[in-house]
Structure formats: structure tokens, C-alpha cells
Chains A and B, each alone.
Chain A
Amino acid sequence: MKPANNPQEFITQAFKQRASIDVVDISVRAYPEEINYIVFVDANDLPAGAAVGNQLDEEISTPEAKAFVIVRKASPQLIEEKVPPLTHGVQDERATNLTRLVTARARVSEAQPSLSYIKDRSVNLPAVTAPRHHLIFGRRGAGKSALLVEAKQSLDPQTSLSCWVNMQTLRQENPSRVFLYILEEVISNVVARQQQIRPDASVSVMASELYDEIRGLLAEINAPDERAIRLIPRVQRALKRFHEANNIRVFIFIDDFYYLPRGSQPQILDRLHGCVRDCDAWLKVASIRHLTRWFQSSPPLGLQTMHDADILDLDVTLQDPGEAKRFLESILTQYAKRVNIPALTKIFHGVALDRLVLASGAVPRDYLLLAKSAIVKAQRRSNAKLVGVQDVNQAAGDAAQVKVQELEEDTASDVAVAAVTLEALKRVRKFCLEETEHTYFLVSYREKENSPLLYNVLTDLLDLRLIHLIDGSVSDDHAAGHRSEAFMLDLSQFSGARLKQGIRVLDFVNGKIVSRRTRTKLPVKSGDTPLQVISILRAAPNLSLDQFQGLLPE
């Protein structure tokens, strides 16, 4: 198509073909010898749209009038006006497109960045790109990889060099070889950059020799550990010289660190720390907190928090359900807009959206995947226009098996841990659903302090999203100074096929926590005020950590 025939159509097609961008609207402003085409796109499409618009300036200009394509962010009202209404609700093809998009893009990796990164409340991005070692913790699906990818992309390539290693690829390797693989990635990046800058410099020679040696050691199947250790001062020197010569800061992104055996984690971090000590090189390690040992005191090995590294916690918990709801819905809305669904309420009931927050335990990926499954469930009901609460419950029930599989995968480096966690889950379920008929429970601070190892069994369940923290500090109205943590069993453990009746559950309605007993006409306790929420939680049964006695090795 020639631009002169129909410039607006030409622009619309060019945006679609060159960057897969749907143009929301185009307005034309004519001035003497000049014409401006103002193209409105979704806010997320602005960077790519700007690039296409700049290309088109020359293509659509004519000898009579110079043309400019100006790309602007479309307002939500404009988007809603231009999008055809979803009269069939969840049966509309766009709902199916949403499920496909979520399936394709729910997992973030270095190769595939997040669809659109949503900053959380604590705005961690500037922290991750700061010159400081960081341990970035979050449950599976909390957004660790998304944050690292976003941080990597935000770095100025002129002044920084970034290296990326995913530990899942290396989880079958021994610690020494894991260390060598990370070094190989770092030094190969240094060599490549140094070659671009000044191939004949002494730093280039030093880095190239080091790279060859690391490759040589990796080629040997059973290279002695000492030879890897001896590389540490040489790598440190190479990184230091590289920075001195070029003023380029090095960032080492290590994703999914929890895949490595816990016993070897402090040792690997210690070696890496040795390599970057007193250099302008920074470790950014993403992992699951309770599957990670980042420091051991005897002998002292690893990264010591406060001194060597800071911790960034990405977990959005149910402690503030209203905030969690806003954050999670903003993510899903971005996906929905990509497939021309202007608002989530066009395909979800309000109560179903509330239930999704609870069912996902406020974990973003779980939220997205549950939303997708719930849409599929609703579509099977031919007359359904909106996703309902039952669809979400059933989707959550189906997710139970997946979570257990993930548990086995996450703890694959230590089979005993997986067995302990599964047994602990059984005991917590029995306590909740059979003994006390409550889906939420309290664990006192005193027990937590007296039995730290047994408490770790509970936090493993927390990290694997099989239980969720509801409130970190519930006071006891009968004993001053006594406090407890409140947890909730994951919805997947008591909904869908597992649905049990007559149990007291927590629910989330219009931004508020409520407590009700299922299939009874007992009044619902509503947490309209903080005091009422505390009152609901205080009534929960106390789980004794003795429940886990006998699970840990002697």
C-alpha cells in the first residue's frame, strides 16, 4: 500500500506489521507545508510505537508537505470508546486470546521479558541497579526474574556490563563447576567488551588467558577444587583492572539460586564474593528465602546481610489484601488491554476478582495462571458471560497438584526436604480441616523462638505457597505481650474437588477480610476495622509446632 493513497491506513498497518501495535486512534493536524499525524497507542506500546513513528516521518512526507508521526499515550476513556464491547463476555474471542497470552507470557526469563513490568509499592528497581550486593527473595512467581530482567534492561550499556546465569541449568553440577560456569559467563562478557574497546590492552590479554583457563578446567571432568579456588584472586584482579581501564561497572545476575543444594550455597556465594571484592562488580542473586543459605558462621562462608549484601523482599502478602488486589489487578489489566479487553470487570465478577487474590496468596504468577484457568472453566458453561467465584475455586483446586509437583522440583536438590515438606503439609491440613475446622491458624512467637528448626518446616510451606501469611503480629487479648503470626491454608487445599463443608474460612470481599462458616447460615464476621480483623484472627486455633516433631533428622 502506498502512503499517499490513505496515510492513516498506511500508518495503522505499519504499526501492526512492524511492531504488532494496535493503533487506538489517529488525529490529523495540518499546518502550512506540514502535516502532523497524532497516533494514540496503549501506554505500554509507546517506546516501540515511537520508533515506528520516527521511521514513518520520511516515508509519508510528500514534496508538498512534510509529515510527522507523533505517538501519544491513549487515555483509558479513548481506549474504551474505540474497543468493541464484549457483549458475549467471557465467550468473546478476546477472552480466549487473554488465556493464550497468559500461558505464553506468564514466565519471565532473560530471553523473554515481562509483558509490561509493574512496579510494586517498594519500587525495587533502583535498588537492584545500585552498586551493592543484593539477595532478592520472593516465592515462586513473585516476580524475581521479572525484576532482574527489568534491571538488566534499564542499565546503560555504555557504562555497565551485565552477565546473566540461571542456576536451573547448573543444578546437576557440583559446586566447583557451578562456580566455574558463572566465572566463564562473567569473564567471557569482559573479554567481549574489552575486544570492542581495546583488544591490545593488557587487561584484554589478562582476561583472555583467564577465560581460556576457565574453559580448560570446565573441559576436564574431574578438575580438582583447588584449581578453581586459585582463580579467585586472578578474576578479582581482572575485574578491578577492567573497571580501572574503562570505568564500566559489572553486574552479575544470578537467577533461581535455590536450585542449588543448600549445603553448597554459602560456599558458592563466598567464592563469588571473593571474585568481586573491592571491585565495581555487584552480585544480584534471586532466590526463595527459606530454600537459601546465604551465610554460615562456622567456618564463616557466604554473604553476610547488612555487611556484605542487602535483602530485597518481593513478596506481596495478604497482610494488606487491598494493596495486593490493586497490584495484582494492575498486572492482569495490562495483559487484558493487550487483547483489547478494556477492563477486567468485562469478563470477571467483582467477587471472583476478590477470590482470585485470596486463591493466589498474592503471588503474581499464580494469580495470572488462576485467572486463565478460571476463564477456561467459565467458558465451558455455554451461557456464562462472566467468570464466577466457583470457577476460581475450581481452578484453585486443580492447581493443588501442580503446586505439589513444583514442590518436588524446587527441592529436587534435596529429596529429604521434599518428603518433610509434603508430610508437614499433610499434618497442617489435618489440623485445619479435620481437627479444628478452620482454614486459618495462629503460631505463637514463643513457639517460633523456642523451636526455630520446626518453624523452618512451616516457612518451607510458606515459600512453596501452600500456606500464606495473613498477619505478622496478632496480639493476645488475654496475655499482654504475647503475639502470634496468622497463616491461612492455600485455597487449593480445601476448594474445588477437595471442597469440605462446614469449615470456617477467611474470605476477601470488597477489600475487606471476612470470616464465615461454609454451607451454614451462621452470621459472617466482617473485618470492617483493624480491630475487627484482629478479633477474627484471635479466634483462630493455635497450631503447635510440635505437630512437626519427628519430621526432622536427628
Chain B
Amino acid sequence: MANLRQQASAATVALREKALLRVSKADKKTLRYYAEGVHISTQTGQPFHELQQQVCADRLRLAREFIVTGDKMVNTRPPQFRSAVSRYYYSMYHSARTLVYFTHGGDDHEAHSTLPTKLPDDFMNGALWQNALKDARGHRNEADYDPYPSDLQSWKPTALDLSAKAPDLLALVVQYLKQKGCGYV
């Protein structure tokens, strides 16, 4: 009996996460259609705007997880600075993506090359963060694609710089979303 209950519960979670994934990746237009329908809300048992807030919280959780992974890579022996650069960039990417998703009202600007230009105007030090995101992406490209510099230690300053920036951006995004009424972060 308990086993059956567990299976049912796992199926419900899977269904809910499938629905959330659709909400998280839909563009603004599609989200409007979703909002007008009742299927997703019925399936998940939550009003549609709350689902969107849940999506924000979940993506920020992902951003947080990448910081933890990046920190582990920096602190492991020997350190894996190249990979850490990539993890920190993805943390910043997901923080920024959450921000744009919430303020724009859809996931229209998830492209890495477009995302930095879509940060909201009233985000604190927006120009600097836009540059920081482009910079982190540049570093990530170099770290993941270029075989040089081959000396792994030379990636240390970049990794340490991003290890400070990624949590800063995450904290600012959380603060911003709270101020704008996102109750789930």
C-alpha cells in the first residue's frame, strides 16, 4: 500500500515538474495562452502567476547550485579552475535569466548573446552587470573552447573573480524580485 502511495506521489511530482518546465521555457505569448487556460493550474493545483514565481525560485536554486559546484571545483585538489569558470558563468546566466523572465513576463530572451541586453532598466548598476555577464561569457568561451593558456593556474584569477561576482548577482536578483513582489524567492 505504502509502495503504491510512493509511486503515485512520484508521478505527481514528475507531472508537476513537467508542467513547470513548460512554464519556465515558454515565451511571453505562449505564457499568455497558458494563463488563459486552466489545464496547467488544475494539474499543479496552483494559480498560474504563482507557478511563474515558482519557476523563478527554481531557476535561482539552480544558479545557487552552480555556485556551490564552482566553489567545490576551486577548492578541490588539484583545483579545476577552467570548469569552475564555466559553472560560475552558468550561475550568473540563470540569475540573469530569472530576472529577465520575471520582468519581461516570458522566456523570450534566453539566448546567451541576447540575455545581457535585456536586464531591466531599474536593476541596480545594470550597465555594469550587463558588462559583467558578457565578460563572464567571454571567459567561459575561452575556458571551454580554447586549449591555451595550458597552464591551469593562469585561470585562477578569473575563477576567483567570478566566484565573487556570481553570488553577488544572485543576491541582487533575489533582492530585486522580492521588492517586485515575487513571493517564492
Contacts and interface: CB of A to CB of B under 8 A. Distances in A.
B124 A156 contact: yes
Given A68-B134, A70-B131, A70-B135, A31 B124 contact: no
B69 interface: no
B150 interface: no
Contacts of B2: none
Contacts of B138: 29, 36, 38, 68, 70
B9 to A, nearest CB: 41
A158 B180 CA distance: 11
Nearest to A47: B128
B122 interface: yes
The secondary-structure label for the interface of chain B is helix
Q: Considering residues B117, B125, B138, B145, which has the most beta carbons from chain A within 10 angstroms of its beta carbon? A: B138
A51 interface: yes
A398 interface: no
Nearest to B139: A70
Interface string A368-392: 0000000000000000000000000
B124 A54 contact: no
A434 interface: no
A459 B93 CA distance: 56
Interface string B136-166: 0010011001000000000000000000000
B171 interface: no
A66 B134 contact: no
Chain B interface: which size bin? 10 to 19
B113 interface: yes
A399 interface: no
Contacts of B124: 156
B141 A50 contact: no
Contacts of B134: 36, 53, 57, 68-70
Interface string A41-76: 000001101110110010000000010111110000
A357 B91 CA distance: 46
Contact of B130 (A54, A158, A159): A54
Contacts of A53: 131, 134
Contacts of B145: 31
Nearest to A247: B179
A34 interface: yes
Interface in B87-137: 113, 116-117, 122, 124-125, 127-128, 130-132, 134-135
A29 B127 contact: no
Interface of A: 29, 31, 34, 36, 38, 46-47, 49-51, 53-54, 57, 66, 68-72, 156, 158-159
Given A46-B128, A69-B134, 7 more contacts: A31-B145, A36-B138, A54-B117, A57-B117, A66-B113, A70-B135, A71-B131
25 contacts: A29-B138, A29-B141, A31-B141, A34-B113, A36-B141, A38-B138, A46-B131, A47-B127, A47-B128, A49-B131, A53-B134, A54-B116, A54-B117, A54-B127, A68-B134, A69-B134, A70-B131, A70-B134, A70-B135, A70-B138, A71-B131, A71-B135, A156-B124, A158-B122, A158-B179
